[in-house]
Amino acid sequence: MKDPISTRDIGPRAGTPLWLYMLGATAAGAGVLAASLLGLSVDEVRALSLEPLTWVLLCMMVLGELRPVSLPGQPPGNGVPTSLPFAFALVILHGLAVAALLQVAATVVAGFARGHAPHRTAFNAAQYTLALGVADAVLRLTAPGLVQNLWFPSVGELLALILAAAAYFATNRVLVTSAVAMHERVPLRQVMFKGASQQAYVNAVLLSLAPLVVVAANHSVLFVPLFALPLWALYTSALLSVKRDHQANHDELTALANRKLLTLRARQEISHAQQRGGGVGLLLLDLDRFKEVNDTLGHPTGDRLLQTVARRLTHSVRPGDLVARLGGDEFAVLLPQVSDASAAREVASRLRGALAEPVRLDGMDFDLQASIGIALYPGDAPDFALLMQRADVAMYVAKADRTGVESYDPGKDRNSTARLSLYSELRRGLSEGALEMHYQPKVGLSDERVIGLEALARWRHPSRGLLTPDEFMPVVEQSNLSRAFTSQVLDVTLAHAARWHREGQDLPVAVNLSVRELLDPELPGTVAAALREYGLPSRQLVLEVGEHALITDTHAATEAVRVLRGLGVGLSLDDFGTGHFTLAQLAGLPLDEVKIHESFTARLVDRSDSGHTVVRAAIALVKALGMRATAEGVQNAELARAARDTGCHAAQGHHFSPPLSADEVTEWLAAHDGGTAAGTRV
Ligand code: C2E
Ligand code: CA
Ligand code: CA
């Protein structure tokens, strides 16, 4: 077992319990070594130094120190050193003084080679000396004269060996886990038994080789180096399995824990807290505007930025806290021991402070900002699943209200409570496939043939029935759910579109995009992948972008529209006439269609409103730009006629059909066969 204070080779602060402990242990080790050396005569030392076996064993021990057997859950390079069989063999052969002397020498050489801090090497050397000392004492008391008999040991002597090995293990374990417990500020009990069986197993394997080393060495020193082979096999296979274990539990890009490990650790910590009392804190952290960086500077830069974030977060928490990356720009920090919300808030503001330092990448400075949501066990949630959900809700509030940090607060005000529960319900709904798509036919005004369908989202809420977008789109747009939402909308819609396509209907299906969805750099990839998955030609899909989306961030939105155009999908400007979109802006966009908002359409038949002249002029311009105009909200024959006469190409509205479920669409299309719905003549 190695010194656990390894990931950061900084010594404990002077005066802390850990510092006192390490100092005390080191002094005790030095004392034991000095005392045992007193029993060694100069002649004995000279004789030993002339024996090749001494040097062979020392070499094996140095190599063994450099190649410890890795253990799961520990950083690579930490573990049980393969020098152990030789050190223990030296105890059997020559007693503590020689064993400790060579072990300390090997530890110092290896510590130097691995660049360990002196305090760490000193503690390691002392830890070995003390553990070997206890083993030596047990052996002397229970089986004096063992070396001579080792070729044919008695049952009693074998038991004495086992007892000494167990004493070595127990001493070493107590010494190391005490340091870990002080370092992580947790009760000794908690670390003492963590991974103890693995530790015991590896120690038993290594210690069991010691008597064989003694027997072999008594025969010929040439046998000793042969032990390198089984030890090497042990070392490499353990390393491999630990690496695999590490990969399964860590994020590849940042090497932080992944969601799986976070879940595991959080559950453990919650059960510890249940036993000893106290709280567990969970912080969820989402970077603000990270997408823009990714979008404008590309993924490699975005990746490096995420690595920087990971480093800063790791360095801002205490040992024992766990930083995890949940995916994208979402991180989590688990605080296994947190007294109250204000302590967790303090950590949160420390994290934000660490991120606020500008990051320099490719000669440019980035300002990073994050929104953090906090939830505590047991105050906010009784288990991990709810804790995650509550922290997520708090993060959502922090983002929406731009406050930076929020603790979970169920009783803030009714409005936000409703909004928050809607958010968690929608998150669950999306994961359970509660999103349905309805379709409204778009009808050509010259001959009343159906020329397309518009997909409109509906959410089947567990208690409130079928909800329309005005009830949930605000939540989608203001939260981190928009990506999941988009991919589900595309998934459901394209599955239906593919079915109609197979049935011989050549109807493009339009999907609406909110600003947030449009500006997501992953959108083009998602769209292309969905089209591929359902085997649909890209012209069968139309994307509708609202006028306000283009105004909010004209530059980025225009860019996004161009990228989507490159995929070959149809593009449509939605809700024309509601914002302040200028006709000049319209001219610069690669659009196929402009949809005239229902409020604008309504003005076509209002004779008292001189505004209808404006609408007419706008429609004329749309046509002049080579785009088609579609009138929305056409509720009656009069509006349909006016739209046709003004030059609109197509229309949508209750006059033709309300939005229909997928099955109703199939029926409606059959009834509408020939292109004209009964009773909807213009
Ligand atoms: P929109 O794109 O302008 O969709 C047209 C809305 O007008 C639909 O409301 C439709 O049901 C309604 N409508 C259809 N015919 C008539 C009519 O004759 N008279 C009147 N007064 N209204 C009519 P819905 O389905 O509630 O959708 C509302 C808005 O929600 C949509 O406006 C769209 O902006 C957004 N939305 C719907 N589905 C999605 C989606 O999947 N993704 C995104 N990002 N937004 C969506
Ligand atoms: Ca639309
Ligand atoms: Ca519209």
Query: How far is residue 78's CA from residue 529's CA, in Å, rounded to a whole number?
Result: 43
Query: How far is residue 604's CA from residue 596's CA, in Å, rounded to a whole number?
Result: 11
Question: Bigger pLDDT: 67 or 363?
Answer: 67
pLDDT tens sequence across 40-53: 999 999 999 999 99
pLDDT at 5 over 70: no
Q: Which CATH entry fits the domain spanning 259-412: 3.30.70.270, 3.40.190.10, 3.40.50.970, 3.40.50.300?
A: 3.30.70.270
Is the CB of residue 336 below 6 angstroms from any atom belonging to ligand 1? no
Closest to 675 measured CA to CA, from 662, 649, 659, 656: 656
Is the CB of residue 251 below 6 angstroms from any atom belonging to ligand 1? no
Residue range 25-29: average pLDDT? Answer: 97
Residue 418 sits at the vertex; the CA angle it makes with 414 and 424, to the nearest 5 degrees, is 145
Among 95-99, 192-196, 268-272, 302-306, name the one with the lowest average pLDDT: 192-196
Is the CB of residue 577 below 6 angstroms from any atom belonging to ligand 1? no
pLDDT tens sequence across 136-175: 999 999 987 776 666 777 888 889 999 999 999 999 999 9
pLDDT at 102 over 90: yes
For residue 456, the ligand 1 atom closest to its alpha carbon is 38
Percent of the chain topping pLDDT 70: 94
pLDDT value for 628 = 96
Is the CB of residue 468 below 6 angstroms from any atom belonging to ligand 1? yes
Is the CB of residue 574 below 6 angstroms from any atom belonging to ligand 1? yes
Q: Supply the DSSP string of 334-387, one letter for each residue.
A: EEEEE-SHHHHHHHHHHHHHHHHSPEEETTEEE---EEEEEEEETTT-SSHHHH
Among 142-151, 192-201, 432-441, name the one with the lowest average pLDDT: 142-151
CA 515 to ligand 3 centroid distance, Å: 14
Is the CB of residue 635 below 6 angstroms from any atom belonging to ligand 1? yes
Is the CB of residue 520 below 6 angstroms from any atom belonging to ligand 1? no
pLDDT value for 417 = 62
pLDDT value for 673 = 62
Average pLDDT, the chain: 89
Name the band, by pLDDT with cuts 50, 70 and 90, for residue 3. Answer: very low
Residue 533 sits at the vertex; the CA angle it makes with 531 and 537, to the nearest 5 degrees, is 35
Is the CB of residue 65 below 6 angstroms from any atom belonging to ligand 1? no
Query: How far is residue 200's CA from residue 173's CA, in Å, rounded to a whole number?
Result: 9
Return the CATH class of domain 435-673: alpha beta
Query: How far is residue 502's CA from residue 477's CA, in Å, rounded to a whole number?
Result: 33
Residue range 355-380: average pLDDT? Answer: 87
Nearest residue (CA) to ligand 1, atom 42: 512
pLDDT value for 586 = 82
Q: Supply the DSSP string of 278-313, one letter for each residue.
A: -EEEEEEEEETTHHHHHHHH-HHHHHHHHHHHHHHH
Is the CB of residue 409 below 6 angstroms from any atom belonging to ligand 1? no
Domain boundaries, the chain: 17-248, 259-412, 435-673
Find the length of the chain: 682
Is the CB of residue 147 below 6 angstroms from any atom belonging to ligand 1? no
Among 23-27, 285-289, 498-502, name the one with the lowest average pLDDT: 285-289
CA 672 to ligand 2 centroid distance, Å: 22
pLDDT at 228 over 90: yes
pLDDT value for 617 = 87
CB-based contact 80:199 (threshold 8 Å): yes
pLDDT tens sequence across 643-682: 999 999 999 999 999 999 999 999 999 888 654 444 444 4
**CA torsion through residues 597, 601, 606, 612, sign:** positive
pLDDT value for 593 = 96
Closest to 83 measured CA to CA, from 72, 75, 95, 91: 91
With 0-12 CB in 10 A as exposed, 13-18 as middle and 19+ as buried, what is 124? buried
Pairing of strands 79-81, 68-70: antiparallel
Q: Find residue 543's DSSP bridge partners.
A: 511, 571
Q: Which of 512, 575, 635 to mutate to test the pocket of ligand 1 (most atoms within 8 A of CB)?
A: 512
Tokens of residue 434, six digits: 């509660």
Place of tokens 């120190």: 65
Level-2 CATH architecture, domain 17-248: Orthogonal Bundle (1.10)
Pairing of strands 570-576, 509-513: unpaired
Among 6-10, 106-110, 248-252, 517-521, name the one with the lowest average pLDDT: 6-10
Q: Secondary structure of the chain: what % helix, strand, coil (to 5)?
A: 60, 15, 25
pLDDT value for 678 = 40
Which one of the ligands is nearest to 635 CA?
1
Place of tokens 């610069």: 588
Is the CB of residue 481 below 6 angstroms from any atom belonging to ligand 1? no
Residue 114 sits at the vertex; the CA angle it makes with 113 and 117, to the nearest 5 degrees, is 105
pLDDT value for 577 = 84
Question: Mutual orientation of helices 299-315 and 290-297 as an angle, nearest 10°?
Answer: 140
Considering only CA atoms, give the Rg of the chain: 36
Name the band, by pLDDT with cuts 50, 70 and 90, for residue 278. Answer: confident
pLDDT value for 75 = 66
pLDDT at 284 over 60: yes
Is the CB of residue 514 below 6 angstroms from any atom belonging to ligand 1? yes
Which one of the ligands is nearest to 442 CA?
1
Question: Bigger pLDDT: 549 or 104?
Answer: 104
pLDDT at 248 over 60: yes
Which one of the ligands is nearest to 549 CA?
1
Nearest residue (CA) to ligand 1, atom 7: 633
CA 439 to ligand 2 centroid distance, Å: 11
Place of tokens 């009964």: 678
Q: Which of 435, 456, 578, 661 to mutate to test the pocket of ligand 1 (most atoms within 8 A of CB)?
A: 456
The residues, ordered by sequence, that sit 6+ positions from 154 with a Cβ below 8 Å of its Cβ are none
pLDDT tens sequence across 551-573: 767 788 888 999 999 999 999 99
pLDDT at 361 over 90: no
Query: How far is residue 460's CA from residue 477's CA, in Å, rounded to a whole number?
Result: 18
Is the CB of residue 475 below 6 angstroms from any atom belonging to ligand 1? no
pLDDT value for 4 = 38
pLDDT at 609 over 90: no
Query: How far is residue 133's CA from residue 96's CA, in Å, rounded to a whole number?
Result: 6
pLDDT value for 592 = 95
